[in-house]
C-alpha cells in the first residue's frame, strides 16, 4: 500500500447489528489513514447506523433487492463507483456480487475473507479464523491481516442533536425526566430464531415493575 492517502471503500454487510459491529473497523481504518477519503457501501435499511459517523466521508447506498435489482441498475452503479476512483476495497461482506462489482469498478486492491467462489477476484485472500470470534473481532481481523494497527475495539453509535431534542421532547410530554430511572423494552427481531418469546418479555416487565 504505497499510496499514503488511498481512497478506501468499506463494503459492509446487510444486517443492522453486524453493521454496528463494523464501526470499530471503520474508526481504526480512519486512524491508520487519517488523510484518506473513506466511504462505506451499505444497504439503505442500515444507513441510519452510520449516519453522522465522523470517520466516514461518504455513505454509498447499494440495495440489490430494491434500487439495484436489475442488471441495468447494477451497471449504472458500477459506472458511478468507477467514477469515484477508489484504490482499496475492504470487503466485510462475503458476497460474490459485491466482490465482482469492486473488481468491475476498477478498484485495484480488493481485500476480504477467502471463499471458493470469489477467491480469484480478491487481491488479498484472508483465511477466516477457525475460532469462534465476536463479529467485531472477525471484521477487525481483516485489517490486522493488512498490517494495520488496531488500538481500540469499542463500537461507535452517533446520535444527532436533532434526534436528542426529539427524544427529550417526547419523554417530557410523557412526564419522564432526566433523572428518572428509565427502562426501554424493544420486543421483536428480524426473523423467528432471533425472537425472544413474548411470555419472557411479559415476565421481564412484571419483574422490573416489581423490583423497581
Q: What is the pLDDT of residue 113?
A: 96
Q: What is the pLDDT of residue 95?
A: 92
What is the dihedral angle through the alpha carbons of 34, 151, 8, 45, rounded to the nearest 10 degrees?
A: -120
Q: What is the pLDDT of residue 78?
A: 95
Gap between the Cα atoms of 149 and 59, Å rounded: 24
C-alpha cell, 101: 462489482
Q: Which of 1-5, 55-59, 124-128, 198-202 has the lowest mean pLDDT?
A: 1-5
Give the confidence band of 4 by pLDDT, cuts at 50, 70, 90.
confident
Q: Looking at residues 110-134, what average pLDDT do you find?
A: 93
Q: What's the pTM value of the predicted model, to 2 decimals?
A: 0.86
- Pairing between β-strand 7-11 and β-strand 88-91 as defined by DSSP bridges: parallel
User: Per residue in 49-104, pLDDT tens?
Assistant: 999 999 999 999 998 888 888 889 999 999 999 999 999 999 999 999 999 999 99
Q: Which residue has the higher pLDDT, 1 or 46?
A: 46
Provide the sign of the torsion angle of the four alpha carbons 156, 125, 100, 88, taken in this order: positive
Q: Taking a C-beta distance cutoff of 8 angstroms, is the pair 40, 98 a contact?
A: no
Q: Taking a C-beta distance cutoff of 8 angstroms, is the pair 152, 27 a contact?
A: yes
Gap between the Cα atoms of 152 and 175, Å rounded: 38
User: Per residue in 124-155, pLDDT tens?
Assistant: 999 998 888 999 999 999 999 999 999 999 99
Q: Which residue has the higher pLDDT, 179 or 11?
A: 11
Q: Which of 24-28, 147-151, 195-199 has the lowest mean pLDDT?
A: 195-199
CA–centroid distance for 27 within its chain: 11
Provide the sign of the torsion angle of the four alpha carbons 128, 131, 134, 140, taken in this order: negative
Q: What is the pLDDT of residue 2?
A: 56
Query: Mean pLDDT for the chain?
Result: 93
Q: Which residue has the higher pLDDT, 1 or 27?
A: 27
Amino acid at each position: 500500500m504505497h499510496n499514503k492517502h488511498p481512497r478506501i471503500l468499506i463494503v459492509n454487510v446487510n444486517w443492522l447489528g453486524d453493521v454496528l459491529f463494523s464501526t470499530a473497523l471503520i474508526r481504526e481504518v480512519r486512524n491508520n489513514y487519517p488523510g484518506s477519503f473513506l466511504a462505506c457501501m451499505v444497504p439503505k435499511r442500515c444507513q441510519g447506523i452510520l449516519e453522522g459517523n465522523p470517520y466516514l466521508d461518504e455513505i454509498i447506498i447499494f440495495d440489490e433487492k430494491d434500487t439495484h435489482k436489475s442488471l441495468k441498475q447494477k451497471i449504472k452503479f458500477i459506472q458511478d463507483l468507477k467514477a469515484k476512483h477508489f484504490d482499496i476495497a475492504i470487503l466485510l461482506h462475503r458476497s460474490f456480487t459485491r466482490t465482482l462489482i469492486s473488481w468491475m469498478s476498477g478498484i485495484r486492491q480488493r481485500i476480504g475473507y477467502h471463499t471458493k467462489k470469489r477467491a480469484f477476484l480478491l487481491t488479498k485472500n484472508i483465511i477466516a479464523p477457525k475460532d469462534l470470534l465476536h463479529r467485531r473481532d472477525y471484521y477487525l481481523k481483516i485489517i490486522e491481516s493488512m498490517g494495520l494497527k488496531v488500538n481500540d475495539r469499542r463500537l461507535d453509535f452517533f446520535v444527532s442533536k436533532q434526534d436528542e431534542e426529539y427524544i427529550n421532547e417526547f419523554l417530557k410530554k410523557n412526564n419522564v425526566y432526566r433523572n428518572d430511572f428509565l427502562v426501554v423494552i424493544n420486543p421483536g427481531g428480524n426473523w423467528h430464531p432471533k425472537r425472544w418469546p413474548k411470555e419472557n418479555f411479559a415476565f421481564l416487565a412484571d419483574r422490573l415493575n416489581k423490583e423497581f
